[in-house]
Amino acid sequence: MKITCPYCGERDHREFTYRGDATAIRPSIDNTSLDDHQAFVYDRKNTAGTHRELWNHTSGCRTHVVVVRDTVSHEIFSCEPVGPFAKQLARNVAKLKGAGA
């Protein structure tokens, strides 16, 4: 499998560390809802097909990237820097039930 790091270019996937489902919404540490945290840590989908996920280019520039990958064929559709995505994620985090608590 090859991943095209936005900074380093096309590299072997062994240079990257998988950091999990990018669509799972991690509650903020200020959110004290047990349900929200429980859902984030334990209730994960096991998607067969197109999946948005986080990787860290640990043996390269060490930046995080958002990869869209088919978990069945392992085809990679895109690989973007995490920055803009993290901002989007922050908006979703704010929408969680326990976020206002």
Partner 1 sequence: MSGFRLKAAETGGKALHFTFDGKSFVGREGDTLASALMANGVSIVGRSFKYHRPRGIFTAGSEEPSALVTLRSGGRHEPNVRATEIELYEGLEARSQNRWPSVRFDLMAVNQLAGKAFSAGFYYKTFMGPRRAGHKATQFWYFCEQFIRRAAGLGKGATSADPDTYSRMNAWCDVLVIGAGAAGIAAAGRAASAGARVIMCDERARGGGSLTGAPELLDGQPAAEWASDAMEELAELDNVTILTRTTVQSMFDGDTYLAVERVNDHRDEPKRHQPRQRAWTIRAASTVIATGAIERPIVFAGNDRPGVMLADAARRYAVEYGVAPGRAVAVFTNNDTGWLAARDMARAGVIVSAIVDVRADVQDDVRKAGEESRAEIFLGAAITGTRGWQELQGAHVRDFHEVSNTLGGKKRFIGCDCIAVSGGWSPAFHLTSQQGGKPQWDAELQAFLPGEASANWFGAGAMAGKFGLRNAFRTGEEAAVRALTQAGFGEGESSVPVIEGDAIDYAPAPVLEINSPGKSFVDLQHDVTADDVRLAHREGFVSVEHLKRYTTLGMATDQGKTSNVTGLAIMAQTRDMSIPEVGTTRFRPPYTPVALATLAGEQYGHLSTVRRTPMHDWHVANGAHMYANGPWLRPESYNAPGETVEQAYIREARKVRESVGLVDVSTLGKIDVQGPDAAEFLNRIYSNGFAKLPVGKARYGLMLREDGFLFDDGTTWRLDEHRFLMTTTTAGAGHVMEHLEYHRDVVWPDLKVALTSVSDEWAGVAVAGPKSRQVLAACVTKCDVSNEALPFMGVRTGEIVGIPVWIARLSFSGEMAYEVYCGANWGQALWDALMAAGEKHDIVPYGLEALSTLRIEKGHVAGPELNGRTTPGDLGLQGMVSSKKNFVGAVLNNRPAMQAEDRLQLVAIRSIDGQRIIGGSHLVKGTKDEPGLSEGHTTSTCFSPALNAYISLALLERGRARFGEKMYATNPVRDSHVAVEVINPHMVDPKGARMHG
Partner 2 sequence: MAEIPDRISPLDGLFEPGDFGAVTNSPGVEYSQRLCGALVQVQAWPGTTGKVEAVLKQVLGLPVPKARLAHMKDETILMSTGPGRWLVDDEMEGLEEKLRKALPSDLGALTGLTHARVVISVSGEKAEWVLSSGIAMDFHVNAFPGGGVQLGHHHEIGVTIHRLGANHFELYAFTSLAHGLWHWLTHAGAEVGYRVT
Q: Which residues of the chain form contacts with partner 1 (CB under 8 A)?
A: 1-2, 12-13, 17, 19, 26-27, 29-34, 37-38, 40-41, 54, 56, 58, 62-64, 73-76, 82-83, 86-87, 89-90
Among 21, 52, 58, 68, binds partner 2 (CB under 8 A): 58
Query: Which residue carries 């999990």 as its tokens?
Result: 20
What is the Cα–Cα distance from 84 to 35, expressed in whole angstroms?
27
**Residues 49, 91 contacting (CB under 8 angstroms):** no
47 contact choice in partner 2, partner 1, none (CB below 5 to 8 Å, kind-dependent): none
Positions that interact with partner 2 (CB under 8 A): 7-12, 14-15, 58-63, 81, 83
